[in-house]
Structures are given as C-alpha cells and as structure tokens.
Amino acid sequence: MTSGFAPGGLQGSRAGGTMGSGGRILVVDDESSMRQYLRTLLELDGYVVELVASGPEAIARVQERAPDVALLDIVMPQMDGIQTLAQLRRQAPDLKIVILSCLNDTHKVVEAMRLGASDYITKPFQKGDLDVALDRCFAGIARPLEAAPAEIEQVDADYFFLAATPVMHAIRRQMAQIARVDVPVLMLGESGTGKEVVARLIHKMSLRSHRAFLKVNCAAVPADLLESELFGFEAGAFTGAVRAKPGKFELCDHGTILLDEIAEMSPALQAKLLHVLQDQSFSRLGGRSNIEVDVRVLAATNMNVQEALADGRLREDLYYRLNAFTILLPPLRERRLEIVPLLRHFMGRMAELYGRQPLGFSRALVNACTRYAWPGNVRELENLVKRYLVLGDEQLILRELEARAKPAPVSAAAAGRDGGLKRMLRDLKDGAEAEAIARALQETHGSRKEAARLLNISYKALLYKMRRYCIEAPLRGHASPAA
C-alpha cells in the first residue's frame, strides 16, 4: 500500500479548532509510517492518540474503552475497513468514524457512508483536510444535533439551503460527504421539498463545480422529444431536423446533470440512459458513431419508488444504478422548526427584489403558518409570502390558510379515482409506525438494536424505516426531545 500523506503536509499546530486538547482518537492503519504521521499531527493539536494496525485490534481496543473518534483506513489485509466499520458500529453506535480512502475507493466510500461513517478523507491529504473532518466530528460531540441553530446557506443567486431541524442538518452533512464522491445520487421527496436545491448544492461542493450544471424535467418535455433533448440529433434524423444539435449530455460534459422526475421517462429511454450510465457513451438520434462523455448524474422523483418499480414505471436495473446514494427529503410539515426562518428569509429576499418595505409577521399569522400542513411544501410557503408582500393584507392571508386547512369533502367515486381512501389508510399506518419507532428508540435510550428487538423486527428493517421516516436515534446519555 502506498503512503497517503502529502509531502510537507506537517505545518505545526493549528490555531483554533473545535476540540483538540483531551479528545481521544484511535488510528487504525496497517502502515506504520501513516500511523506515526497521524500521531504527530494529532498530538501537536493536543489529542490523546492510540494506534492499532488492524481491524481486530481496533475492535478489541474499542471494547475496552471507546474513543471519541476513530480514523479508519479502508484498505487493510485480512479484515478491511468496511468489515471493521460494520463491527465498530454494532459495538459502539455513537462512535464517530472517519474513513481514510484512496481516489479509486469510490464504491467502498459509498458503502462506508451507508454503514454510518461520519466523514472520509482522500489520500493523499493535507492537514487542513484532517482538521475539517475532526472539527465536524467533535462539533457533533460537543453540541447535540437537536440543539443546532437554523443555518441558511446561499447556493447561488436564486437558491438557498436552510437547515433548522436534526434531519436537515443530517442531510447537509450527507451532502458534504457525497459531493466529492463521483457517484449518482437519487433524491426522493414530495414536490417543493427542495430536491433541486440539494442537487445544486452537491454540484457546488463537488470537484465539478467549475463546469456546467443542467436540469432536465422529464415530466415537462414530451416523451417523443425527450430523447433528442438529452442526447441530441443529427441533421435529417426526423422531419425538421435541418442541422445537427447536441443534447444536454454533450453540453454537460465533465459537469453535472439533474434528471428531475426520472420515473416519468419512458421505459425505452430509461434503457438507453442505463447504457449511458454504464458506458459513459451514447449516439445522437440518427447518428452512427458513439460520443463519449463524463457526466455525473443526479436524479429526483416525487413518486413512491416501490410503487413505481412494482407497476413498471421505473426500471429496476436503472433504479439500482442510480441508487448509489439516496437522500430522502421530508415534507415541510415534518420540519416545522424551519417555517419561521423560511418566512423571514423569503420576506427579506422578496422585499429587496420588489423594492418594498418588508412586512412583519404577527403572532396570529406565525401560529397559523406553523399549524398549516403545507401540502405544497417550501414552494407553497414562498408563494404565500409573495402574496402577503404584494397585497399587504394579513387578514386575507389568514383566511386563505384557514380555507386551505379545511378538508374538502371527497366523494366515494373521487376517492376511488384518486386513491384517496388507500392513501389515507397508508398515511395513518405510516404515522403509527413512525410513532412506534420513535417511542421504542426513546425507551431504549437510542439503542437501535434494542429498539428492533422491542418492535420485533430485524435490525436492517429498523434502519430502513428510520431512513424512510427521517427518524434519528437520540444520542446516548441525552434525553430525547419531547414529541
């Protein structure tokens, strides 16, 4: 194995940092020079450092006394980093683990993230990379995520990302982890939850940020035109094709493309897209030669993926190819702590845009907004703030919210046509299931293994349902927040 540190990377102790003195770090690497190098870096910053050369040694050491953070090499003989990580996560679920990987370990890094790694560093690395990863880990130890404040991050002139709840802070951390790993990402969530914002922020944080980002809404482009929109066409390919035209994949070479509403794409076109993902090449409509491209694909859908797979709207092989990493964005009604910061942010932004004085929000209006379910999510809230600013009539907005909150009567025929009764029953079941899981985690003080036993389901099933319902286990030794 080749050494993974950068020559001249040791620049002395850093000024600042979140933790440092007193933090305990376990270094797990089979290469002696790397272990000693990391010891030197870490001890200069006041960390207490332990060194082991293999996965079994790490497991034994953690069993004796768990450190605050483990730096774990991904490539080791006998028991590799992935196997070691899985064992350590079972043994010490709250242990922060930073993976040390090489550039060609992309798929292993993704697997490590799925297993619960907190972060990763790509070899060769500079000391600053190590500092950033450790700061993230120790910030999470020093301040529980539940207490994290609202944070607004401007993505570009038109888009921003706001995190004010544990689940959105966790999603932001996931984005930082996967942005530099050049794999597809699938974003799931209702319309208006911010899937495009997530895609743009992933691109901004990636190594492709200086190249093009393009979005294609597969539901908005007619099915017979979508292929030429994505892959282009040659002159004479069809009536009206008087000259050749490149498609979005060509225009996005070395950049990132977002395929929104991917499940709306026809099965035949999904098959062609699968080949592009596998081979990184395609031919234009009417073309005879292949065009090679290097494009990172991000995909999004508001459909229930399992239902889309079951009824054939989404090809299973394409889904598994896109599903290298999945981000599930919860609806706004499940992250109500973000409603007030969003109201304020949109008001300030639109007042500046339209050259008006920003309006205040009375307690009555804030309470109404907080109680409202927001079926249109963040997009609906943005439009409401825009109307309030333009009309300047708070009572009108209050009456609007009240009228929207009243359920419209649903006839039996409409329920059968729209799946109203089926959806209602599914929502009730999901709500009860999520509540039971949250309660079990609270009763077991955050032990997912004990919670799975209490619920009489497998550990894997519990993890799947926690991801589906955006439930985070309470930190060990901390009281769970009141529901």
User: Which band of pLDDT confidence, cut at 50, 70 and 90, is reported for residue 15?
Assistant: very low
For the domain 24-142, what is the CATH code? 3.40.50.2300
CATH of 160-328, one of 3.30.420.10, 3.40.50.300, 3.40.30.10, 3.30.70.20: 3.40.50.300
Instruction: Evaluate if residue 470 carries a pLDDT over 70.
Output: no
Domain boundaries defined on the chain: 24-142, 160-328, 334-405, 423-468
Average of per-residue pLDDT values in the chain: 82
For the domain 423-468, what is the CATH code? 1.10.10
Q: 218 and 230 in contact (C-beta within 8 Å)?
A: no
Q: 108 and 34 in contact (C-beta within 8 Å)?
A: no
pLDDT in tens, 65-116: 889 999 999 889 889 999 999 999 888 888 999 998 875 667 788 888 888 8
pLDDT in tens, 453-466: 888 888 777 877 77
**What pLDDT score was predicted for residue 16?**
41
Do the first three CATH levels of 24-142 and 160-328 match, i.e. the same topology?
A: yes
CA dist 298 and 295 (Å) reads 10
Q: What is the mean pLDDT of residues 197-201?
A: 96
String of DSSP letters for 232-293: -B-TTSSTT--S-B--HHHHTTTSEEEEETGGGS-HHHHHHHHHHHHHSEE--BT--S-EE-
Residue 309 tokens, joined: 């797979």
User: Which band of pLDDT confidence, cut at 50, 70 and 90, is reported for residue 273?
Assistant: very high
Residue 351 tokens, joined: 């007042």
CA dist 58 and 50 (Å) reads 10
CA dist 192 and 302 (Å) reads 9
pLDDT in tens, 203-232: 999 999 999 999 999 988 888 889 999 999
**What pLDDT score was predicted for residue 13?**
41
User: Which band of pLDDT confidence, cut at 50, 70 and 90, is reported for residue 403?
Assistant: confident
**What pLDDT score was predicted for residue 2?**
41
1-10, 180-189, 236-245, range with the lowest pLDDT: 1-10
Q: What is the mean pLDDT of residues 282-303?
A: 91
**What pLDDT score was predicted for residue 1?**
45
3-state SS, 412-425, equals HHHHHHHCHHHHHH
Percentage of the residues of the chain whose pLDDT score is greater than 70: 84
Report CA 474 to chain centroid distance, whole Å.
20
pTM to 2 decimal places: 0.61
User: Which band of pLDDT confidence, cut at 50, 70 and 90, is reported for residue 427?
Assistant: low
Domain 334-405 has CATH 1.10.8.60: yes
Q: 232 and 246 in contact (C-beta within 8 Å)?
A: yes
User: Which band of pLDDT confidence, cut at 50, 70 and 90, is reported for residue 428?
Assistant: low
Tell me how far CA of residue 29 lies from CA of 9, 35, 64, 88, 184, in angstroms. Answer: 18, 6, 19, 15, 29
User: Which band of pLDDT confidence, cut at 50, 70 and 90, is reported for residue 482?
Assistant: very low
